[in-house]
Amino acid sequence: MNADAVPGLVAVLAVTVTTIAIGTWGLRFSRTTSDFFVASRTVNPRLNASAIGGEYLSAASFLGVAGLLLVGGAEMLWYPVGWTAGYLVLLVLVAAPLRRSGAYTLPDFAEARLGSTVVRSACSLLVVGVGWLYLLPQFQGAGLTLESAIGAPRWVGPLIVGVVVLVNVMSGGMRSITFVQAFQYWLKLTALLVPAMVLLVVWLDDGRPGSPSGSDGAWSVPVAGEGAIGLYTTYSLIIALFLGTMGLPHVVVRFYTNPDGRAARRTTLVVLGLLGLFYVWPPVFAALGRVYGRELVAEGHADVLVLELPRLMMSGLGGELLTGLVTAGAFAAFLSTASGLAIAVSGVITQDVTSRFVGERGPTASVAAAFRLAAVIAVSVPVLVALLSTNIGVARSVALAFAVAASTFCPLLMLGIWWRRLTDAGALAGLAAGGLGAGGAAVLNLVGVEGSGWGAALLAQPAAWSMPLAFATMVLVSLATPSRAPSHARRFLVRLHTPEVLEQAG
């Protein structure tokens, strides 16, 4: 280990210690089962929005986007735009009704809406699948970061992140995680904003050099490649990102911690602002990387652009300090997103699997025990996969998780909330069609299957065909099985859409 490793090491240690400290401090407020799962539903919109932002801005946002922009140019701007716009779609279609439904997880929603335990199980399976698909790149990214920052072997990152997440989730549950994640949003924003500004000043001092490669060409056209395939790929990505957000398990769980539907909407609005504030900075890194970081692209290390750029542009103490700061931000990104996903996946595993072993509906102690057991399962599986599998790129693999969510939970939520004739058979058929379609494509991607031409495009970006397929299947099968429509559907929709003013008055 050399002197280069010191700032990164200090940063990683500081973030780890602070995270555990805040988590432990939050533990003092975590007394009941309700605290454990939903922070007793008393989190105010601003704190909750910071926590959502902290949880949502993953390694893909902090490291991946800048690297993708550097290599791919303007077409990659759709990633941050889609991740933000997804919240707008969530706001207008899902936020308030989902909170009012009283569902803690997506399987809860499916069961309450359709009264079917089979649909519930299918949803649980999908939550765990999407969650693991999303956790995997977080752990892989952690390995990458520690390798770049302190020269540690690849397996160290996943292990450290896995253990810290597990400690936090197991000790405090949702209440303490809320504080941790709110803190991590602001840490991530600072860790991106301050270096970006300093580096911009350095660039100005340098006499505002342009890119050595000259013309912009494809770098400033927000479409993936030439021709119809490029257009398809771009639109498919847009569909996956815009519609997938509402189906991410860790996002849905957060909504239940709002006091009511109105607060859920306000929280979402604040999240929109916080995400926008964050996402204007990765393009700055990419633009500077185009001037100073060409060798990173040549070596295929664009993923670590954010971590390397300070040293490439500044020598001495300044560069070291900024390196420490961005390393801290990156590490916070892994911890917070992984914690959120671990909570969501553990919640589902607790309800559907481990509580049966520990004793269902038991006293608080045994529910917490079931939750802890579930957390171990939720974290250790993706850590193991991350240790064993090869890296396919942080943002790419996150995009696949979005495609699966957009093709399964998005139609389920939209039809479940707005269409009273949805039946359990329809939901199940739609989930199967979308899940097998997008999920199958994701698995093929993970194991490294590549085609050429249209085949490759349809496989790499499945959302544009799998999402409509899932929707159509859900609607058509529901229409074919009208007798299976649950008798309480109407009453349930009333609850979803009745404003809180009336609930209090009535």
Partner 1 sequence: MSDQRPQRVRVTGPPRYSSGPRNRLGDVHEQTPLGDVFLRSLLKEQLALAFRVLVLIALTLGLLPLVFHLWPDLGDVRVAGIPVAWVVLGGLVYPFLLLVGWRYVRSVERNERDFADLVEGPDPGQSS
Q: Provide the residue type at 213 as one letter.
A: S
Residue 276, interface with partner 1 (CB under 8 A)?
A: yes
Query: Contact region for partner 1 (CB under 8 A) — 19-27, 280-288, 298-306, 356-364?
Result: 280-288
How far apart CA 21 and CA 41 sit, in angstroms, is: 23
Residue 501, interface with partner 1 (CB under 8 A)?
A: yes
Residue 222, interface with partner 1 (CB under 8 A)?
A: yes
Residue 193, interface with partner 1 (CB under 8 A)?
A: no
User: Locate tokens 């299976």: which residue?
Assistant: 484
Residue 33: count of CB within 10 angstroms of its CB:
18
How far apart CA 278 and CA 190 sit, in angstroms, is: 9
Structure-block tokens of residue 195: 């270096």
Residue 245, interface with partner 1 (CB under 8 A)?
A: no
172 contact partners, CB below 8 Å, separation of at least 6:
23, 24, 26, 27, 30, 36
- Return the number of the residue (333 or 493) whose C-beta is nearest partner 1: 493
Query: Contact region for partner 1 (CB under 8 A) — 75-83, 147-155, 345-353, 465-473?
Result: 75-83
Residue 217, interface with partner 1 (CB under 8 A)?
A: yes
Convert residues 298-327 into a mask of x (bound to partner 1 by CB under 8 A) and - (unbound). Answer: ------------------------------
Query: Contact region for partner 1 (CB under 8 A) — 7-15, 323-331, 464-472, 493-501?
Result: 493-501
How far apart CA 310 and CA 355 sit, in angstroms, is: 48
Residue 269, interface with partner 1 (CB under 8 A)?
A: yes
Convert residues 79-98 into a mask of x (bound to partner 1 by CB under 8 A) and - (unbound). Answer: --x--xx-xxx-xxx--x--
Q: Provide the residue type at 325 as one letter.
A: L
Residue 212, interface with partner 1 (CB under 8 A)?
A: no
Query: Contact region for partner 1 (CB under 8 A) — 117-125, 231-239, 300-308, 342-350?
Result: 231-239
Structure-block tokens of residue 350: 């607790």
Which string of b and e fits 57-73 if b means at least 16 CB within 10 Å?
A: bbbbbbbbbbbbbbbbb
Convert residues 152-181 into a mask of x (bound to partner 1 by CB under 8 A) and - (unbound). Answer: ------------------------------
Structure-block tokens of residue 400: 């696949």
168 contact partners, CB below 8 Å, separation of at least 6:
19, 20, 23, 176, 177, 180, 335, 339
Dihedrals phi, psi of 219, to nearest 5 degrees: -65, -20
**Nearest distance from residue 342's CB to partner 1, in Å?**
29
Q: Which residues bind partner 1 (CB under 8 A)?
A: 74, 77-78, 81, 84-85, 87-89, 91-93, 96, 216-223, 230-231, 234-235, 238, 242, 262, 265-266, 268-269, 272-273, 275-277, 279-280, 283, 287, 418, 490-491, 493-494, 497-499, 501-502, 505-506
